């Protein structure tokens, strides 16, 4: 149960003054959040921080106020000029003056009663807003603030500017945030006092307050004391959650699994290639982990095509040699089938018994697999998350390999090991994650990296062309398939409309069938999975030479003799995605080409992305560049996986804090693994505030 102390932060925003159904919806649009349908909480609102300030402190006088400047004027009201009745287009004007000149305060569609009351003739007032000059006459259209002389002190001379959304004004948002701030409870300090003293950080409530009351532009910098403090809180919450997870998983005693090498030897003999140095090294690290009596929790990072599958299989073989079972899990049906196809002949050669388990296996086959897993007759199962459904039991599940981890949420990680008593976990990802982000999202794991490409791979020639040269591209594809090459043709996914995309892909498909003949297949996200798999399988088998596809081919598909990839509207893709797509080719010893077609004119960021694609094939370099261009937010496809993003911490700006947070979290868990002490209690609050309370549940699970 969440401590009641935090209730004020977890109230819905609609409990705040003046926020009804309609403004509540505007706030939901504005704040988004993990659960898009839920009403945001007061805490969500408090983490919506200003991005700029308006400075109203300039008071130059009417005649000396430059056009476009935000100024505050001290004026005397002279007369009202009402629009002619019935003509709504003519504005209502209030004329006023100061010692330097006269100004018209201009209102469109205004309520005359309100204006008469707010601007009594003869009264002296302060007005603040944007100065405009029309044909030599000064005016201010809809001043932001109007106050009497007596109330001048109440006028905010420095005002924060927040990102807004339709139906929500800055004024209402500021007022609402002020009310929310006033309700922040006093909380015990969870940070190490030595750290807050050294960094001169305010406490949590004071930091929030300061973040919403910037006085100078420098207060908006991510490195200001208040924003650093809040970012650190957020980073510490995430690192602490990962540390707790790691601690729990390690504490659950593992088993020492030592293979004798008999299966591995046979698999290696059956492979048509020798392992790369990176593969050998990664396997040695994995085998060492398996042999230890603790649980393994390891991330295998390797660029597309670096050969992760065979590493997974050999790891599974070690575990099976020791007498246990293994599972390899992939995010889609298609990838499961592909893995099974690669693995089956090798497993056969070694005498390992394997089975496939996805949502599609039903009836007898499924029952047999389930029985085989329970009895231990099956050594290795390859499947989707169907493996972890209720009713599936293992005799002794020693290893789970999770492929393409970024499609699985962090919270699912813990569930993976629940089918075995001491299951080791190997997570594989093709997303080349920069070091800072590895720490952020996988701080609980040890990391192995496949940095070498298999021998004999040729560099991919990448060319960038405008869409106007489409005919040339089609000719090039025709010529290549004439030489027995295979080509992917990727059509983009426009987020707003999957239907439009599909129709674009279908049009392209028809055009290519016309141009090239019946050698073209089509696969897109709106097809039934079975139909889509059939198209891809036909392409794999060579019945089609060209596959028109939306990004469904992005992850993991392996067709080694595909040597051309055309990406239409390349400017619409992110760098990481372009890199993943390009990785579909260049998987054999034949020369490969990637043609990036863009629609002119290109924006600056898109130009940069395409340039980087042309310049390098190194996934890690691309990931770093991607981080630079995007600022770190979406690199892991956080939206698909529901992996919690960061609201305040900026991965680039706060990288040094990240390191401190990791060490801090480690130390906390070493000293007080149950968060039972005084600081531990306070840290639990932190976990709740930043939505990492799953970790608290783990603590309770013991």
What residue 307 binds from ligand ADP, Mg ion, none (CB within 5 to 8 A, per partner kind)? ligand ADP
What distance lies between CA 542 and its chain's CA centroid?
Answer: 36
Instruction: Tell me: does residue 454 bind Mg ion (CB under 5 A).
Output: no
Out of 587, 609, 662, 684, the residue judged to bind ligand ADP by CB under 6 A: 587
Between 492 and 556, CB nearer to Mg ion: 556
Question: How many residues sit in the footprint of Mg ion (CB under 5 A)?
Answer: 1
* Nearest-approach distance from CB 271 to Mg ion, in angstroms: 16
CA-based end-to-end distance of the chain = 16
Give the sign of the dihedral formed by CA 19, CA 20, CA 22, CA 28: positive
From the list 62-70, 275-283, 317-325, 596-604, the region that binds ligand ADP by CB under 6 A is 275-283
Between 228 and 431, CB nearer to Mg ion: 431
Instruction: Tell me: does residue 558 bind ligand ADP (CB under 6 A).
Output: yes
Between 181 and 280, CB nearer to ligand ADP: 280
Binding to Mg ion by CB under 5 A, coded x per residue (else -) over 544-573, reads ------------x-----------------
Any residues with CB less than 8 A from the CB of 392 and at least 6 apart, and which?
357, 370, 373, 386, 419
Short-list 693, 697, 700, CA closest to 34 = 693
What residue 331 binds from ligand ADP, Mg ion, none (CB within 5 to 8 A, per partner kind)? none
C-alpha angle with apex 307: 586 to 523, nearest 5 degrees?
A: 55
* Nearest-approach distance from CB 667 to Mg ion, in angstroms: 37
Between 300 and 546, CB nearer to Mg ion: 300
Between 320 and 557, CB nearer to ligand ADP: 557
Q: In what order do the strands lie in the sheet with 460-466?
A: 460-466, 592-598, 562-567, 486-490, 546-549, 520-523
Three-class secondary structure of residue 382 per DSSP: strand
Between 332 and 369, CB nearer to Mg ion: 332
Between 243 and 451, CB nearer to ligand ADP: 451
Out of 432, 454, 492, 619, the residue judged to bind ligand ADP by CB under 6 A: 454
What residue 152 binds from ligand ADP, Mg ion, none (CB within 5 to 8 A, per partner kind)? none
Mapping DSSP onto H, E and C, the string for 54-121 reads: EECCCCCCCCCCCCCCEEEEEEEEEEEECCCCCCCCCCEEEEEEECCEEEEEEECCCCHHHHHHHCCC
What residue 273 binds from Mg ion, ligand ADP, none (CB within 5 to 8 A, per partner kind)? ligand ADP
* Nearest-approach distance from CB 568 to Mg ion, in angstroms: 25
* Nearest-approach distance from CB 338 to Mg ion, in angstroms: 8
| Closest chain position to Mg ion (CB) | 556
C-alpha angle with apex 126: 122 to 127, nearest 5 degrees?
A: 110
Binding to ligand ADP by CB under 6 A, coded x per residue (else -) over 324-343, reads --------------------
Between 239 and 279, CB nearer to ligand ADP: 279
Out of 8, 61, 323, 560, the residue judged to bind ligand ADP by CB under 6 A: 560
Where do runs of H (alpha helix) occur along 404-458? 410-416, 435-442
Between 454 and 556, CB nearer to Mg ion: 556
What residue 306 binds from ligand ADP, Mg ion, none (CB within 5 to 8 A, per partner kind)? ligand ADP
Of residues 415 through 444, those in contact with ligand ADP by CB under 6 A are 430
* Nearest-approach distance from CB 410 to ligand ADP, in angstroms: 21
Between 34 and 269, CB nearer to ligand ADP: 269
Instruction: Tell me: does residue 398 bind ligand ADP (CB under 6 A).
Output: no
* Nearest-approach distance from CB 555 to ligand ADP, in angstroms: 9
Between 400 and 430, CB nearer to ligand ADP: 430
**d(C-alpha 683, C-alpha 689), whole Å:** 10
**d(C-alpha 485, C-alpha 133), whole Å:** 67
* Nearest-approach distance from CB 339 to Mg ion, in angstroms: 8
**d(C-alpha 687, C-alpha 702), whole Å:** 17
Between 226 and 309, CB nearer to ligand ADP: 309
Beta-carbon count within 10 A of 29 CB: 14
Binding to ligand ADP by CB under 6 A, coded x per residue (else -) over 276-315, reads x--x----------------------x-xxxxxxx-----
| Closest chain position to ligand ADP (CB) | 307
Out of 133, 273, 351, 605, the residue judged to bind ligand ADP by CB under 6 A: 273
Beta-carbon count within 10 A of 68 CB: 9
Short-list 347, 319, 316, 314, CA closest to 258 = 319
**What single DSSP character describes residue 144?**
S
Cβ-contact 60, 42 below 8 angstroms: no
**d(C-alpha 56, C-alpha 70), whole Å:** 6
Cβ-contact 511, 470 below 8 angstroms: no
- To the nearest 10°, report the CA torsion of 135, 139, 140, 146: 180
| Phi/psi of residue 268, nearest 5 degrees | -60, -40
**d(C-alpha 16, C-alpha 9), whole Å:** 11
* Nearest-approach distance from CB 405 to Mg ion, in angstroms: 11
Question: How many residues sit in the footprint of ligand ADP (CB under 6 A)?
Answer: 19
Beta strands in 385-544 (DSSP E): 397-403, 424-429, 446-450, 460-466, 486-490, 520-523
Instruction: Look at strands 137-141 and 424-429 and give their pairing.
Output: unpaired
* Nearest-approach distance from CB 274 to ligand ADP, in angstroms: 6
Out of 230, 275, 316, 655, the residue judged to bind ligand ADP by CB under 6 A: 275
Bond prior to 241 in cis (omega within 30° of 0) = no
* Nearest-approach distance from CB 335 to ligand ADP, in angstroms: 9
Between 143 and 556, CB nearer to Mg ion: 556
Between 302 and 372, CB nearer to Mg ion: 302
What residue 276 binds from Mg ion, ligand ADP, none (CB within 5 to 8 A, per partner kind)? ligand ADP
Cβ-contact 28, 40 below 8 angstroms: yes
Rg (CA), the chain: 31
Distances (CA, A) of 51 to 48, 83, 164, 567: 9, 38, 11, 36
Instruction: Tell me: does residue 254 bind ligand ADP (CB under 6 A).
Output: no
* Nearest-approach distance from CB 622 to ligand ADP, in angstroms: 15
* Nearest-approach distance from CB 563 to ligand ADP, in angstroms: 13
Between 259 and 556, CB nearer to Mg ion: 556
C-alpha angle with apex 76: 75 to 77, nearest 5 degrees?
A: 115
Between 241 and 312, CB nearer to Mg ion: 312
**d(C-alpha 587, C-alpha 453), whole Å:** 10
* Nearest-approach distance from CB 455 to ligand ADP, in angstroms: 6
Binding interface with ligand ADP (CB under 6 A): 273, 275-276, 279, 302, 304-310, 430, 454-455, 556, 558, 560, 587
Binding interface with Mg ion (CB under 5 A): 556
């Amino acid at each position: 149960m969440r401590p009641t102390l935090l209730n004020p932060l977890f109230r819905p925003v609609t409990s705040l003054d003046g926020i009804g159904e309609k403004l509540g919806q505007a706030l939901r649009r504005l704040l988004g959040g993990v659960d898009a349908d839920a009403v945001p909480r007061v805490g969500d609102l408090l983490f919506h921080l200003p991005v700029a300030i308006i400075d109203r402190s300039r008071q130059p006088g009417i005649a000396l106020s430059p056009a476009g400047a935000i100024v505050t004027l001290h004026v005397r009201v002279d007369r009202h000029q009402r629009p002619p009745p019935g003509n709504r287009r003519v504005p209502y004007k209030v004329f006023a003056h100061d010692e330097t000149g006269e100004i018209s305060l201009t209102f469109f569609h205004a309520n005359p009663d309100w204006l008469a009351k707010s601007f009594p003739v003869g009264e002296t007032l302060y007005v603040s807003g944007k100065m405009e000059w029309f044909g030599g006459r000064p005016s201010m259209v809809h001043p932001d603030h109007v106050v009497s002389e007596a109330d001048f002190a109440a006028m905010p001379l420095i005002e924060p500017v927040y990102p807004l959304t339709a139906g929500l004004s800055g004024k209402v948002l500021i007022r609402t945030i002020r009310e929310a701030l006033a309700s922040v409870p006093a909380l015990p300090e969870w940070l190490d006092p030595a750290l807050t003293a050294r960094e001169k950080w305010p406490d949590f409530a004071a930091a929030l307050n300061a973040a919403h009351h910037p006085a100078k532009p420098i207060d908006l910098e991510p490195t200001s004391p208040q924003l650093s403090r809040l970012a650190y809180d957020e980073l510490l919450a995430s690192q602490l959650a990962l540390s707790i997870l790691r601690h729990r998983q390690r504490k659950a005693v593992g088993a020492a699994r030592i293979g004798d090498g008999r299966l591995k030897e046979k698999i290696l003999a059956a492979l048509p290639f020798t392992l790369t140095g990176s593969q050998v090294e990664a396997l040695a690290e994995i085998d060492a982990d398996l042999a230890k009596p603790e649980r393994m929790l390891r991330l295998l990072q390797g660029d597309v095509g670096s050969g992760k599958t065979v590493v997974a299989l050999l790891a599974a073989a070690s575990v099976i040699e020791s007498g246990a079972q293994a599972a390899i899990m992939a995010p889609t049906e298609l990838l499961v089938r592909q893995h099974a196809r690669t693995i089956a002949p090798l497993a056969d050669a070694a005498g390992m018994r394997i089975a496939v388990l996805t949502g599609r296996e039903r009836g007898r086959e499924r029952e047999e697999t389930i029985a085989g897993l329970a009895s231990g007759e099956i050594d290795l199962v390859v499947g989707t998350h169907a493996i972890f459904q209720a009713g599936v039991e293992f005799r002794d599940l020693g290893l789970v390999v999770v492929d393409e981890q970024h499609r699985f949420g962090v919270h699912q990680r813990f569930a993976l090991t629940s089918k075995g008593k001491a299951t080791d976990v190997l997570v594989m990802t093709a997303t080349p994650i920069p070091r800072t982000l590895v720490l952020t999202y996988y701080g609980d794991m040890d990391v192995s990296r496949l940095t070498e490409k298999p021998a004999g791979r040729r560099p991919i020639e990448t060319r960038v062309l405008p869409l106007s040269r489409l005919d040339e591209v089609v000719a090039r594809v025709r010529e290549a398939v004439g030489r027995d090459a295979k080509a992917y043709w990727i059509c983009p996914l426009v987020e707003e409309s999957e239907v439009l995309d599909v129709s674009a892909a279908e049009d392209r498909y028809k055009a290519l069938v016309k141009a090239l003949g019946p050698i073209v297949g089509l696969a897109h996200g709106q097809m039934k999975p079975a139909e889509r798999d059939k198209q891809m399988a036909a392409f794999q088998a060579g019945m089609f030479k060209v596959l028109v596809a939306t990004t469904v081919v992005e992850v993991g598909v392996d067709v080694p003799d595909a040597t051309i990839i055309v990406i239409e509207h390349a400017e619409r893709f992110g760098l990481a995605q372009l890199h993943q797509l390009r990785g579909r080719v260049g998987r054999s010893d034949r020369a490969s080409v990637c043609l990036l077609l863009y629609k002119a004119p290109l924006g600056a960021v898109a130009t940069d992305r395409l340039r980087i694609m042309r310049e390098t094939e190194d996934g890690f370099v691309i990931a770093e560049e991607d981080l630079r261009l995007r600022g770190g937010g979406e690199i892991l496809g956080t939206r698909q996986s529901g992996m919690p993003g960061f609201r305040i911490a900026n991965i680039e700006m706060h990288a040094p804090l990240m390191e401190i947070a990791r060490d801090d979290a480690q130390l906390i868990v070493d000293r007080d693994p149950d968060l039972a002490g005084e600081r531990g209690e306070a840290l639990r609050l932190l976990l709740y505030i930043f939505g990492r309370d799953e970790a608290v549940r783990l603590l309770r699970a013991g």
